[in-house]
Structure 1
């Protein structure tokens, strides 16, 4: 008699995937990519029926000396507004490359733009997010950092009285799954709307757009970059693994789950839809919730996809000494390589 742990692993591992990556030629790769992309969009939901005019409204502006940080409200669905931080280098002129910056679990977008939960300027330890949106702006990028639904100021009323790092993921994800779609899909839809806004600005270069996210934001980055080909370079931090070794091996937030995905593909296949565009994977070798052995399996699979697509130079990984956190040392330079800093000083 199998123990429950062994039994459920057997159930998931014996699921026959219908679209695993098995291509041997560039043409087969393209056919696989198009088929899996359609299926992924169906599984997570595109939410295009929610699309309305963005109606941007700037509600805050701060001059940090080297960076101008604005807070803009966007309408992403009838009756729903999304706060977005917009950061741009103060001394740059002209059209700048754009990066959509996606926070993970924590207290929301403030955590990646250099702010404490109460809105005061961050001092001391920047935490696992390392204020990476602010760092990218300092390097010459126009950065948009949306507040993902369920975090920070976008929580249910019952959760607003809880500590800042508590979230509303469970009820949101359950509600979306009951309608046949996913919270990850809606977050990806809103990330694409943030990109719509950014690329419509006069200071953005629409031909040079990237995306970066940590952990749950890494998942949203993967989905967004896979489904939106305007994104020319992506950095996924603290997420890339296999479902078998990470999401199914331990307790994760419910927002990580995509019903039915294992019938079609594993996580590296899903992330591999970003090819032939540039992809950097960041992973701390001591990350306990996305363990190294699973990351190595995923990296091998992704290398195979990029080789088959004929663009092995557009894939790179940074396995750094650290845990579940942003690194940035290699990935910021990766954006410089594929997007360039642009503008005129």
Structure 2
């Protein structure tokens, strides 16, 4: 291409924009400015986007989001919650599955002082959802209940098995997972022993809800089959495939006008429908809790469903700025809600439940987040609870070590649930 032709294409392109009704400069309204790019301050720090990081942050994250309760113009807590919750649901593409499905009970066992039920139910799409319900063996009357939300952990072959069990002997690969993240405990069982009914359901794309290889085109299977998943190497192969498939799943959901958080919320709300409808459950004393991906689900369910009287999010709290500049590469597509950072910070989703009791547990060496932004998220939530006149109902703690929900953290979480759901 000659210089004259390049110039021609350049200027006719700009002229074409001008013909649409205004100059090019008018179309690029502030903060965009092609003539004088911003100078990088001396405090510039390397980030995931390089020189684009400060620019991207400046678009919407340098000030208070438009619907933040931290703004002086928001004074009515309930009115704010109604408005902001509606906006979160709009942005995520809220599903709102109506009607409690038929529950099938497959077996009931007595184990380690508990009664356990293995159940399943059919949602309007996908394979049946498997769940377990645990309660003390000699319990009487209506009990407080907790929806236990299992983690991601890079393992979609497993679901509820990560935190609950109905038998003494569990497969070695389940034991490995529990040892890595839960100090060897099936914490749903440990909580049930304290006098709770605990339900754990397989999340979307995990366990019984995972994408089966036989249901996708053969050229997308990478030579892997669903055959003989009792072998660790086959499970590892599936989990590797499922990790890559997250990109396809997320982009496909976006193409349908929904997001992964919307599916999580809808399916967890169905599980909650099943739990609160039980005759042995006190529907006024319901909690939810989970680590990592379960912590994310706690943020969504606890923040957006008023039936959750007490919420404990573990190992999943930071800011949109942390995701933008530092840590989006350590997370899956399951976190993101398009456009929402303009209106609410990530931590403010959980704060939508104020003044209801809320706990956040973090690890100082958690490589999924930066410590500074975890602490800033704590400041954001505590500020909202303080403005709501309910600071005593919010608690955040930091523990030594990496990403986990160990026994010390479990003890603190269980004590918090006891405080608000039993007393």
Normalised to the residue count of structure 1, the TM-score between the two structures is 0.90
Residue of structure 1 in register with 2:136 after alignment:
89
Residue of structure 1 in register with 2:396 after alignment:
317
Residue of structure 1 in register with 2:187 after alignment:
132
Aligned-CA RMSD value = 2.5
Q: How far apart, in 1, do the equivalents of 2:394 and 2:211 lie?
A: 39
- Give the superposition deviation at 1:21: 2.9
| Cα deviation 1:243-267 (Å, max 9, x = unaligned) | 2114652311111111111121111
Greater relative contact order, per chain length (Cα 8 Å cut-off, separation 6+): 1
- Give the superposition deviation at 1:91: 2.2
Q: Secondary structure at the match of 1:100?
A: strand
> In the alignment, which of 45, 55, 68 is matched to residue 20 of structure 1?
68
Q: Is this contact kept in 1: 2:326–2:370, CA < 8 A?
A: no
1:271 aligns with 2:350: yes
- Give the superposition deviation at 1:272: 0.9
**Cα distance, 1:115–1:45 mapped onto 2, change above 3 Å:** farther
Q: How far apart, in 2, do the equivalents of 1:30 and 1:268 lie?
A: 18
1:258 aligns with 2:337: yes
Gaps of 5+ in 2: 1-36, 41-45, 214-220, 227-233
Residue of structure 1 in register with 2:271 after alignment:
194
Q: Secondary structure at the match of 1:239?
A: coil
Q: Is this contact kept in 2: 1:241–1:298, CA < 8 A?
A: yes
Q: Is this contact kept in 2: 1:88–1:137, CA < 8 A?
A: yes
Residue of structure 2 in register with 1:11 after alignment:
56
Structure with more of its chain in helix, by fraction: 2
In the alignment of these two chains, the number of paired residues is: 339
> In the alignment, which of 326, 333, 343 is matched to residue 415 of structure 2?
333
Structure with more of its chain in strand, by fraction: 1
The 10-residue stretch of structure 1 (154-163 or 304-313) with the greater mean CA deviation from structure 2: 154-163
Residue of structure 1 in register with 2:84 after alignment:
36
The 10-residue stretch of structure 1 (162-171 or 210-219) with the greater mean CA deviation from structure 2: 162-171
Gaps of 5+ in 1: none
Q: How far apart, in 2, do the equivalents of 1:170 and 1:123 lie?
A: 29
Within 5 A, what are the aligned runs for 1:108-147? 108-114=159-165, 120=171, 126-129=179-182, 130-147=185-202
Residue of structure 2 in register with 1:171 after alignment:
248
Q: Which has the higher Rg, Structure 1 or Structure 2?
A: 2
| Cα deviation 1:181-222 (Å, max 9, x = unaligned) | 111111111111111101111110111000102111111111
1:58 aligns with 2:105: yes
> In the alignment, which of 183, 191, 205 is matched to residue 150 of structure 1?
205
Within 5 A, what are the aligned runs for 1:240-259? 240-246=317-323, 249-250=326-327, 251=329, 252-259=331-338
Q: How far apart, in 2, do the equivalents of 1:292 and 1:115 lie?
A: 37
